[in-house]
Amino acid sequence: MRYNTTPPPTTFIRKHVFSLDHKVIGKQYYALALLAALVGMVLSWLMRIHLGWTAAAIPGLQLLSKDGAPGGVMTPEYYLQLMTMHGTIMVFFVLTTAPFAAFGNYFLPIQVGAEDMPFPHFNMMSFWVTFVGFLVLIAAFFVGDGPSLGGWTQYAPLSAVGSVAGPGEGTGTILWATSIALFCVGQLLGALNFIPTTLDLRAKGMSMMRMPLTVWGWFITSCMGLTAFAVLMPAVILLILDHVAGTSFFVPSNLVINDQLQPHSGGSTLLWQHLFWFFGHPEVYIAIVPGMGIVSHVLITSMRKPMLSHRVIIYSMGALAVLSYMVYGHHMFVSGMNPFSSLAFSFPTLVITIPSTILVLMWIGSLYGSKLRITSASLFALGFVSMFVSGGVSGFFLAQPSIDIMLHATYFVVGHFHMVMGVAAMFGIFSATYFWFPKMTGRMMNETLGKIHFWLSFVGTYCIFMPFHYLGMAGNVRRYSAFVVEYLQPLIPVHRFITVAALITGAAQLIFVYNLIHSRFWGEPAPDNPWEGTSLEWSTPTTPPPHNNFGDHLPAVYHDPYQYGVKCSTGDYVMQASPEQVATVNEEK
Amino acid sequence: MATTVHQPPQIDSGRLPETSHSGNGGWRNLVPEDGDLRVVQHYSPPASSTAIWVVLFAITMMFAALTSALVVRKGASLDWRHFTLPSILYFNTVLLLVSSVTLEVSRRRVATFMGGLRSQSESPARWLYVTLFLGLLFVAGQYIAWLQLSAQGVFLATNPSSSFFYVLTAAHALHVLGGLAGIVYVIRKLSKSVLRRSTLDATARYWHFMDVLWVYLLLLLWMKL
Amino acid sequence: MAKFFAVTIIVIAIASAIPILRHTWVAPEDISTHGALIDEQMSETMAEAGISFLAAQFILAIFIWQFSNPRPDAKIKTFPGGAKGLVIAAMVLVGAEVMALGIFGVKAWADVYFTAPSANAMPVQVQAGQFAFYFRYPGPDRTFGPLHPDLINEANENFFGLDTTNDPDSKDDIVTAEMAIPVNREIHLLMHSKDLGHSFYVRELRVQQDFVPGLDVSLHFTATKVGKYEIVCTQLCGLGHYNMKAYLEVMSQEDYDSWLKKEAAIQ
């Protein structure tokens, strides 16, 4: 028995623009994330060039902003504005959008054996609301005195008092907050689809434990998003009210800026930090958990054996999600909040290393005795593991308030989060792209270019972000547009090295973009199951899948998701949808 | 997996889903012991029942965040001024509670209509219209409360207490308007005979939650403001 | 390619460790009385993190080397002990490690935050505002005069908003752009923000604390070595954030006394 959620579209607009098909929506999210990543990357180049050569004129920059870069020389405020946009774009429109919204929308229904998400209209709205949010954010470059300069964290009162505090703090911050509010709505509409799909639309035979780890990653992430974004949205609305309505949620009394006494009174700056980080910490797990699911999935297919324990991976991802709500105060150790609270937050933060370690041990331990195939996808997946270790161990330091006294607000923190988010999560996105591109487009990506992309990215990102930790240990403060403090002078050569590495690594990403575009139109035609995978996406009747994913008959699921290393007519694997009875691997359940 | 319905289906009452809960929510095991999938039913719980819980959870989190903001802000400084809540709020509360009752009445009538067990001379949507009307009255009443406050010189930015009053009541009213849009959607679907039972149930659950949420907010405002 | 990848991982891991082992870029010498415990925590954490980092990267590399591009007839094997062993190892070893770090770290934190300044600690007030730090000493009456934000006037150098005409306690307050303190004397630093969030960071003193607008926080510390150090702002406060700094001069008691007298004369 089957049902039609929506009939196949006929017009161009319905097929490619306002599409109700989760696959098209997924690709639209991917395109948005790609565009955002390129913008965010260029912003990072501008920032790095300025940090290495502060007085230098960057040719053409004055075209982007006459006031921000007169004669091409970046002003300190413009540096901060670019930095704020870089962080906001990357965290929201790349790291939350690509691994979760893009790949999740495309593959979650297929991997559970459904025709589509249950609420295609809300799904379509979620993309367009997110897209409008992106436009609102970018608009800040072109209005008034430019984008906000308060950092992606927008601490009050800087973010709440308006333009008296600096360029971009008026309209720029309002646009930022509006964009984020729209983004929150988009994500909530997404969770509205992801969770019922996972719980209610699974095919016959697909029990929860038979779902691939990618589905678990997306499911756990949507649950986190539900809680986190629902808290961020009222916070930014209160921030907007402080700007436009004269309220004082976040601004205390008696502030004097530019010799003017500010009209606000009684607000709490720490309230903003609590609300923001209650969202902010789960957000970073939202950025990484889908990547963990994807990397596990890609590694299993590449290793030709399942993980040591399917359940342990699921429980660890779940534990990370639950713990992520209890640790947020580690961003606020020296914020002036009660020092007992700091200690209280540090213990769950230390404990959260345990599920993270378990995951790493599962990935590495499963490699033992495997038959690893090296492809671009598996290289990036392995790179993810290496990067997650590197980025994760710096967490040992930052989890302790006494050490945080020295490392808070230094490049150590910047190195930590770039390694886990800026690199590991990005590697997850790359791995997923190389892995699923054949299914999404019917063509193979160029493996040689993929491997070159990997090598340059892997070595390059280590060259960029490892030194950040040393800079932080030396006390290099973050969010500085220039290094005029005396003790920072000897560190400038390190910054220049990092800048060169960043420019080269950035250029390498263009190889990826070229590969994407070229392969989309001229790549080798792809078979239905190029990687000999077992999960349902490889069982679609056509590649790319038809409008309703599985054609005339929804699949029934006969096996666990990762039956590799078995003797089957297809080879060393049996597909989930195949009724063939083989001696299956007894996974430790 | 609902079918589109062009007229009230003739189905026997044995197959009507239980009204006391939303369906088994998805933790069902689709793999029988003997592996024979032929016995697994095609019926799956309606996605809208799961979805509405998702929505209600998100809304709860949002108001939880606003509640904690209120508590922290109140304790952060000494400028919190109490004011008396306009009494029309209590009348509005009654309106909302009655609308929940009328919604339940309409739900049962529509369900029996869709079950084909009773032919009715009255429109099955009548009580839905009553609910819609009461809901609109509620929102209008909230607006009157705002007008009364502003006549006394109590505006959004007058005091942190009034700020939270306006923010909380406005946020709630916006969600009520969303619920009204849901009821309009249900009425439309019913008039074209394509209403699914699960849609009706989900809309009703949302509406009742708006009640509960309002009672909670009223208590919060009454205690803290 | 897999073997090359494995070697690359090992080279990167070792290259990353070298600057740490050679102490190339580390925090400068500790001149505080409470910093030894912080530095100890740092070393212990570095050792544990370093070992975990190197071990994980090495084993990852070794497994990639060994198990990639297998012979077609190679058998799939399971890690000895399976998932159970690794989970237990993680919970027990990592659990013990982080609990130890956490528990031993409590004292380092408590020394800074859970001890009250001693009765004869010297009070100094620091005000952070876009984009400078100013300092205030209470003068011979040992009392700080009240602050009047409406009187703040940068042009007249009334940075704190003091009313020296009407407030007797303010008359002898000494406002400076540099902070000088006597060596080996406990300082009670009262932190006040004029406008936004800022932070007070002195690497050598092992102190970092955010200013909270609307809430006056305080720190206490003792400097043990004479010298000139930099105070930098570490919380983003606007376009001048990178340039918001002041000098901290730790002096002998006599030098400090003459410095204070000089500053008092030019109020």
| Nearest Cα to Cα of residue A149 among A225, A60, A56, A65 | A65
Give the nearest chain A residue to C217 (CA atoms). A336
Give the nearest chain C residue to A262 (CA atoms). C195
Mean pLDDT over A143-150 rounds to 94
Q: pLDDT at position B110, please?
A: 86
- The DSSP bridge pattern shows strands C199-202 and C122-129 to be unpaired
Mean pLDDT over B113-142 rounds to 85
Encode burial over A280-289: b for 16+ CB neighbours within 10 A, e otherwise. bbbbbbbbbb
Q: Say whether A274 and B77 touch across the interface (CB within 8 A).
A: no
Q: Say whether A558 and B35 touch across the interface (CB within 8 A).
A: yes
**How far apart are alpha carbons A450 and A427 in whole angstroms?**
12
Closest approach of chain A CAs to the CA of B122, in angstroms? 32
Could you give the domains of chain C?
2-69+82-113 (no CATH), 122-265 (2.60.40.420)
Is residue A373 pLDDT above 50, yes or no? yes
Confidence tier at B6 by pLDDT (50, 70, 90): very low
- The answer to whether A480 contacts chain C (CB < 8 Å) is yes
Q: Say whether A334 and C154 touch across the interface (CB within 8 A).
A: no
- The answer to whether A447 contacts chain C (CB < 8 Å) is no
Q: Are A489 and C44 in contact (CB under 8 A)?
A: no
The strands making up C179-182's β-sheet, listed across from edge to edge, are: C179-182, C245-251, C227-232, C199-202, C207-210
Mean pLDDT over A91-113 rounds to 97
Q: Are A247 and B158 in contact (CB under 8 A)?
A: no
In-domain check, residue A587: no
Q: pLDDT at position A259, please?
A: 87
ipTM of the assembly? 0.96
Closest approach of chain A CAs to the CA of C99, in angstroms? 7
Handedness of CA A24, A30, A34, A39 (dihedral sign): positive
Mean pLDDT over A296-309 rounds to 96
**Residues of chain C contacting residue A358, judged by C-beta atoms under 8 Å apart:** 86-87, 90-91
Q: pLDDT at position A589, please?
A: 39
State whether residue A477 is helix, strand or coil.
strand
In-domain check, residue A2: no
- The answer to whether A257 contacts chain C (CB < 8 Å) is yes
Q: Say whether A201 and B3 touch across the interface (CB within 8 A).
A: no
Q: pLDDT at position A3, please?
A: 45
Q: What is the CA radius of gyration of chain B?
A: 22
Q: pLDDT at position B125, please?
A: 87
**Residues of chain A contacting residue C57, judged by C-beta atoms under 8 Å apart:** 386, 389-390
Q: How many domains, in total, are found in chain A? A: 1
When the pLDDT of each residue in chain A is averaged and rounded to a whole number, the result is 95
Confidence tier at A289 by pLDDT (50, 70, 90): very high
Q: Say whether C230 and A486 touch across the interface (CB within 8 A).
A: yes
In the numeric block, which tokens belong to residue B24? 């088994």
Is residue B5 pLDDT above 50, yes or no? no
Q: Say whether A308 and C26 touch across the interface (CB within 8 A).
A: no
Element containing residue A406 per DSSP (H, E): helix A401-407
- The answer to whether A402 contacts chain C (CB < 8 Å) is yes
In-domain check, residue A97: yes
Give the nearest chain A residue to C154 (CA atoms). A259
Encode burial over A361-385: b for 16+ CB neighbours within 10 A, e otherwise. bbbbbbbbbbbbbbbbbbbbbbbbb
Q: Per residue in C140-185, pLDDT tens?
A: 999 999 999 999 998 999 999 999 999 999 999 999 999 999 999 9
In-domain check, residue A562: yes
Q: Per residue in A425-454, pLDDT tens?
A: 999 999 999 999 999 999 999 999 999 999
Of A411-425, B33-47, C237-251, the one with minimum mean pLDDT is B33-47
| Nearest Cα to Cα of residue C174 among C128, C135, C141, C147 | C135
In-domain check, residue A506: yes
In the numeric block, which tokens belong to residue A243? 């700007």
Tell me: cis bond preceding A544? Omega within 30 of 0 counts. Answer: yes
**Residues of chain B contacting residue A203, judged by C-beta atoms under 8 Å apart:** 30
Q: Are A346 and A399 in contact (CB under 8 A)?
A: yes
Please count the residue pairs, one from chain A and one from chain C, whose beta carbons lie less than 8 angstroms apart: 315
Chain A 524-583, CB below 8 Å of chain B: which residues? 556-558
In the numeric block, which tokens belong to residue A171? 């309209």
Secondary structure (H, E, C), A80-114: HHHHHHHHHHHHHHHHHHHHHHHHHHHHHHHHHCC
Give the nearest chain B residue to A114 (CA atoms). B1
Q: pLDDT at position A378, please?
A: 97
Mean pLDDT over A53-60 rounds to 94
Q: pLDDT at position A2, please?
A: 41
- The DSSP bridge pattern shows strands C199-202 and C186-193 to be unpaired
DSSP state letter for A421: I
Is residue A73 pLDDT above 90, yes or no? yes
Dump the DSSP string for A192-216. HHHHHHHHH-PPBT--GGGS-HHHH
- The answer to whether A501 contacts chain B (CB < 8 Å) is no
When the pLDDT of each residue in chain B is averaged and rounded to a whole number, the result is 83
Q: Per residue in A489-532, pLDDT tens?
A: 999 999 999 999 999 999 999 999 999 999 999 999 999 999 99
User: How many residues appear in chain C?
Assistant: 267
Is residue B14 pLDDT above 60, yes or no? no
In-domain check, residue A10: no
Q: Which pTM does this prediction carry? A: 0.94
Instruction: Give chains near A: 3+ CB pairs under 8 A.
Output: B, C
Q: Per residue in C64-100, pLDDT tens?
A: 999 998 888 888 899 998 899 999 999 999 999 999 9
CATH number reported for the structural domain that contains residue A549 in this entry: 1.20.210.10
Q: Per residue in B58-116, pLDDT tens?
A: 999 999 999 999 999 999 888 899 989 999 999 999 999 999 999 999 998 888 887 77
Tally of CB atoms within 10 A around A95: 28
| Nearest Cα to Cα of residue B172 among B48, B62, B49 | B62
Q: For tokens 């035979």, what's the residue?
A: A205
**Residues of chain A contacting residue B47, judged by C-beta atoms under 8 Å apart:** 118-119, 196-197, 200-201
Q: Say whether A354 and C90 touch across the interface (CB within 8 A).
A: yes
Is residue B17 pLDDT above 70, yes or no? no
Is residue B45 pLDDT above 80, yes or no? no
Confidence tier at B16 by pLDDT (50, 70, 90): very low
Q: For tokens 């925590």, what's the residue?
A: C41
**How far apart are alpha carbons A372 and A374 in whole angstroms?**
6
Mean pLDDT over C12-19 rounds to 96
Q: Are A508 and A456 in contact (CB under 8 A)?
A: yes
Q: Say whether A389 and C24 touch across the interface (CB within 8 A).
A: no
When the pLDDT of each residue in chain C is averaged and rounded to a whole number, the result is 95
| Nearest Cα to Cα of residue A265 among A278, A253, A273 | A253
**Residues of chain C contacting residue A409, judged by C-beta atoms under 8 Å apart:** 199, 201, 208, 234-235
- Of the candidates C109, C207, C213, the beta carbon closest to that of A339 is on C109
The pLDDT > 70 percentage for chain A reads 98
- Of the candidates A252, A360, A402, the beta carbon closest to that of C213 is on A252
Q: For tokens 């408590």, what's the residue?
A: C110
Mean pLDDT over A374-384 rounds to 98
- Of the candidates A253, A361, A470, the beta carbon closest to that of C24 is on A470
**How far apart are alpha carbons A219 and C181 in whole angstroms?**
57
Q: Say whether A268 and B73 touch across the interface (CB within 8 A).
A: yes
Is residue A237 pLDDT above 60, yes or no? yes
| Nearest Cα to Cα of residue A470 among B212, C119, C19 | C19
The residues facing A208 across adjacent strands are: none
**CA dist list (Å): C153 to A68, B157, B212, C161:** 28, 28, 53, 7
**Residues of chain A contacting residue B1, judged by C-beta atoms under 8 Å apart:** 1, 3
Q: Per residue in C178-218, pLDDT tens?
A: 999 999 999 999 999 999 999 999 999 999 999 999 998 99
Mutation target vs A (from C236, C243, C244; most A CBs, 10 A cutoff) = C236
Mean pLDDT over C225-253 rounds to 97
Is residue A59 pLDDT above 60, yes or no? yes
More confident: C216 or A35:
A35
Is residue B23 pLDDT above 50, yes or no? no
Q: Per residue in C92-149, pLDDT tens?
A: 999 999 999 999 999 999 999 999 999 999 999 999 999 999 999 999 999 999 999 9
Could you give the domains of chain B?
43-76+86-224 (1.20.120.80)
In-domain check, residue A110: yes
Is residue A381 pLDDT above 50, yes or no? yes
Domain enclosing residue A321, as ranges: 24-252+261-573
- The DSSP bridge pattern shows strands C227-232 and C174-176 to be unpaired
Confidence tier at A582 by pLDDT (50, 70, 90): confident
The pLDDT > 90 percentage for chain A reads 90
Dump the DSSP string for C7-58. HHHHHHHHHHHHHHHTT-S------BSSHHHHHHHHHHHHHHHHHHHHHHHH
Q: Say whether A249 and B2 touch across the interface (CB within 8 A).
A: no
Q: For tokens 């660890």, what's the residue?
A: A316
Mutation target vs A (from B52, B161, B163, B196; most A CBs, 10 A cutoff) = B163
- Of the candidates B1, B69, B160, the beta carbon closest to that of A275 is on B69
Cβ neighbors of B99 (< 8 A, separation 6 or more) are B130, B131, B134, B135, B138, B207, B211
Residue type at position B174: L
Q: Within chain B, where are the H helices?
A: 47-76, 88-114, 126-151, 160-191, 197-224
Confidence tier at B29 by pLDDT (50, 70, 90): low
Encode burial over C77-94: b for 16+ CB neighbours within 10 A, e otherwise. ebbeeebeebbebbeeeb
Q: pLDDT at position B9, please?
A: 35
Burial of C130 (0-12, 13-18, 19+ CB in 10 A): buried
In-domain check, residue A411: yes
Is residue A44 pLDDT above 80, yes or no? yes
**CA dist list (Å): A424 to A164, A245, A250, A368, A461:** 39, 41, 34, 22, 10
Q: Say whether A269 and C197 touch across the interface (CB within 8 A).
A: yes
In the numeric block, which tokens belong to residue A572? 């060393």
- Of the candidates C2, C16, C215, the beta carbon closest to that of A336 is on C215
**Residues of chain C contacting residue A379, judged by C-beta atoms under 8 Å apart:** 5
**How far apart are alpha carbons A379 and A486 in whole angstroms?**
42
The residues facing C223 across adjacent strands are: C32
Q: What angle do CA A57, A63, A65 make, to 5 degrees?
A: 85
Confidence tier at B33 by pLDDT (50, 70, 90): low
- The torsion angles phi and psi of A144, rounded to 5 degrees, stand at 50, -135
**How far apart are alpha carbons B147 and B44 in whole angstroms?**
48
Q: Per residue in A546-567, pLDDT tens?
A: 998 998 888 989 889 999 988 8
Closest approach of chain B CAs to the CA of A21, in angstroms? 17
Is residue A464 pLDDT above 70, yes or no? yes
Q: pLDDT at position B21, please?
A: 27
Q: Say whether B73 and A119 touch across the interface (CB within 8 A).
A: no
